[in-house]
């Protein structure tokens, strides 16, 4: 059968299973909770796959497993089925001699998708497959809906995202991807804990959204009768902690941005942000190279990955290019001299898109031109450095050129993975930049920042020189799992209503 749909065949199957459930209720509880699972499939295979048939018969190793029945073969007085648990699959052998005629007959009427508990001894079949010769068998949960046909699973991507629970049952690739995601996050956490960073938690509901230029979600707190915003980034709270003397902090956080949905964007997403006092953005770039290389090795076993037809090396030193150097390197027709000419950039931008950016000074024009002509070409890991000051409201100005900041973005396979900079710790400069953001918001820029008076007050107490960075965890997982869409690496992505 293809994926579940409200067809008459599917409805008929569901009704047949409901009838079975009604009959089960008459004689016993079809949802018991007294079975004790003691073994997992993967552990059994790891420990006993290398044992011979003879040694298993001699040792008589008793085991007890539980899981979802995903395959079943009934052959008269003997049957085989496959259970799927959280680690993998194990085969059961059920026959009249070991479980009795009555229980075997009950089993024959159970359905794929039912959850079973089985106890017995390990043995190997004629094909040398590790199996359990079942002596006790229990139905633990009756499944009322049929699973998708085993060879095709959920072929409709939208359905896979909406019914992730079914996708996880039928797709080993999906299960492995999300297990790997968990391992990646654990590796990120361990990286910072071992370097004496303190893991912290900051508010998800904030009176003023800050830490990024993005449109926030708005909610209302009834008891306080006040508007609150779901955080777009934890940055300003984490830097308050630096002011308070917690000099190395990190947070693996959920953030929310009320923007478009694409293969790279979900309104709710996971970020890693980390801050270190008495460090600068050069330290961050060195640390990021080490971090990504180590996480890749720990989670995938290699620092060489294959994605979208590209072979990418995540180890070693990454390119470090300014915006204009990158444009020139990947678009040779644009000379470095022309890229310093605002009129030239306006003419070239109009060839690509009709509207010139609202901010059309040199830095903003260069950055937009980079986004349109170069970003997608940055396949190997590349740091883009020296971002214009007016699009970097929280970053420290460069000492030699105040028109740019000590900021970088890391791109891999044409995707922005990380954003970091030496933090602006001059309260007067920060106040002036907040005011410029407010003016931009008043002029119609919905993504411009608010003026955060309390954050300015915190800076006035004094924040040491600090470096801070955010890494998109979802995009990093996309990279390390060769996933084309962010929806493939978020268990329950945001979707339109059916």
The sign of the torsion formed by the CA atoms of 242, 244, 247, 251 equals negative
For residues 123 and 179, membership in a common domain is answered with no
For residues 107 and 207, membership in a common domain is answered with no
> Residue 251: helix, strand or coil by DSSP?
strand
Alpha carbon distance 184, 175 (integer Å) = 14
Q: What is the pLDDT of residue 445?
A: 83
Q: What is the pLDDT of residue 150?
A: 54
For residues 412 and 472, membership in a common domain is answered with yes
Average pLDDT over residues 214-231: 95
For residues 306 and 402, membership in a common domain is answered with yes
pLDDT tens per residue, range 327-370: 999 999 999 999 999 999 999 999 998 777 667 789 989 999 99
Does 287 reside within a domain? yes
Does 363 reside within a domain? no
- Position of tokens 């009838």? 19
Does 284 reside within a domain? yes
For residues 99 and 196, membership in a common domain is answered with no
Q: Which of 39-43, 306-310, 324-328, 356-360 has the lowest mean pLDDT?
A: 356-360
- Res 443 pLDDT > 60: yes
**What is the pLDDT confidence band of residue 240, given thresholds at 50, 70 and 90?**
very high
Burial of 128: CB neighbours in 10 Å, binned 0-12, 13-18, 19+: exposed
| Domain hosting residue 179, numbered range | 171-318+380-488
Does 13 reside within a domain? no
- Res 1 pLDDT > 50: no
pLDDT tens per residue, range 155-196: 678 889 999 999 999 999 999 999 999 999 999 999 999 999
For residues 123 and 177, membership in a common domain is answered with no
Asked if 384 contacts 409 with a C-beta cutoff of 8 angstroms, the reply is yes
For residues 297 and 222, membership in a common domain is answered with yes
CATH of residue 98's domain is 2.40.50.140
For residues 176 and 130, membership in a common domain is answered with no
For residues 308 and 436, membership in a common domain is answered with yes
Q: What is the pLDDT of residue 11?
A: 93
Q: 406-419: string of b/e by CB count within 10 Å (b at 16+)?
A: bbbbbbbbebbbbb
- What does each C-alpha distance from 99 to 94, 105, 118, 129, 135 come to in angstroms? 7, 10, 10, 21, 5
For residues 198 and 52, membership in a common domain is answered with no
For residues 314 and 419, membership in a common domain is answered with yes
Does 371 reside within a domain? no
Strands 382-385 and 198-199: unpaired
CATH of residue 433's domain is 3.30.930.10
Q: Where a domain ends, among 125, 141, 157?
A: 141
Does 18 reside within a domain? no
- Res 211 pLDDT > 60: yes
Asked if 212 contacts 232 with a C-beta cutoff of 8 angstroms, the reply is yes
Average pLDDT over residues 270-283: 98
Side-chain half-sphere of 425: how many Cα atoms within 13 Å? 21
Domain count for the chain, please give it.
Answer: 2
Q: What is the pLDDT of residue 225?
A: 95
Tokens of 331: 């678009």
pLDDT tens per residue, range 386-413: 999 988 999 999 999 999 999 999 999 9
Model pTM above 0.95: no
**What is the pLDDT confidence band of residue 151, given thresholds at 50, 70 and 90?**
very low
Alpha carbon distance 396, 408 (integer Å) = 12
- Res 4 pLDDT > 50: no
Does 469 reside within a domain? yes
Q: Where a domain ends, among 99, 119, 141?
A: 141
Q: What is the pLDDT of residue 181?
A: 98
For residues 137 and 200, membership in a common domain is answered with no
Taking each helix axis from N to C terminus, what angle separates 362-373 and 342-352, rounded to the nearest 10 degrees?
Answer: 40
């Amino acid at each position: 059968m293809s994926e579940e749909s409200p067809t008459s065949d599917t409805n008929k199957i569901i009704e047949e299973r409901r009838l079975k459930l009604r009959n089960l209720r008459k004689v016993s509880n079809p949802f018991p909770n007294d079975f004790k699972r003691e073994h997992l499939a993967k552990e059994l295979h790891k420990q006993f796959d290398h044992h011979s048939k003879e040694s298993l018969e001699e040792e008589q190793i008793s085991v007890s497993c539980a899981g979802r029945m995903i395959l079943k073969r009934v052959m008269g007085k003997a049957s085989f089925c496959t259970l799927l648990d959280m680690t993998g699959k194990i085969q059961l052998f059920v026959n009249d001699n070991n479980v009795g005629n009555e229980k075997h007959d009950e089993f024959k009427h159970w359905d794929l998708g039912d959850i079973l508990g089985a106890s017995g001894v390990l043995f190997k079949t004629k094909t040398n497959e590790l199996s359990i010769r079942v002596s006790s068998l229990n139905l633990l949960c009756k499944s009322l809906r049929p699973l998708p046909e085993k060879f095709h699973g959920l072929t409709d991507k939208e359905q896979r995202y909406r019914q992730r629970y079914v996708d996880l049952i039928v797709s080993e690739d999906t299960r492995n991807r999300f297990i790997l995601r968990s391992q990646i996050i654990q590796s990120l956490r361990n990286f910072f804990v071992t370097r004496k960073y303190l893991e912290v938690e900051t508010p998800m509901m904030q009176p003023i959204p800050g830490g990024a230029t993005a449109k926030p979600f708005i909610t209302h707190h009834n008891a306080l009768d006040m508007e609150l915003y779901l955080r777009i980034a934890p940055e300003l709270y984490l830097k308050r902690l630096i002011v308070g003397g917690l000099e190395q902090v990190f947070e693996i956080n959920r953030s929310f941005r009320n923007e478009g949905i694409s293969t790279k964007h979900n309104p709710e997403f996971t970020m890693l942000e980390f801050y270190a006092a008495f460090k600068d953005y050069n330290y961050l770039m060195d640390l990021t190279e080490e971090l990504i290389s180590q996480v890749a090795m720990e989670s995938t076993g290699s620092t060489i990955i294959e994605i979208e037809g590209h072979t990418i090396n995540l180890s070693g030193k990454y390119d470090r290019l300014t915006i204009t150097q990158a444009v020139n390197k990947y678009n040779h027709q644009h000379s470095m001299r022309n890229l310093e000419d605002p009129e030239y950039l306006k003419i070239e931008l109009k060839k690509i898109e009709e509207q010139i950016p609202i901010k059309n000074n040199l830095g903003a024009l260069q950055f937009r031109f980079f986004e349109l002509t170069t970003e997608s070409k940055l396949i190997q890991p590349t740091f883009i450095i020296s971002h214009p000051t007016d699009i970097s409201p929280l970053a420290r100005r460069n000492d030699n050129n105040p028109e740019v900041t000590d900021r970088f973005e890391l791109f891999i396979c044409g995707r922005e993975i990380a954003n970091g900079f030496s933090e602006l710790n001059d309260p007067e400069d920060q106040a002036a930049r907040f005011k410029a953001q407010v003016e931009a918001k008043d002029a119609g820029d919905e993504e411009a920042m608010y003026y955060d008076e309390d954050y300015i007050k915190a800076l006035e107490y004094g924040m040491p020189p600090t470096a801070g960075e955010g890494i998109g965890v979802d995009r990093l997982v996309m990279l390390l799992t060769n996933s084309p869409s962010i929806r493939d690496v978020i268990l329950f992505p945001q979707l339109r209503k059916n």
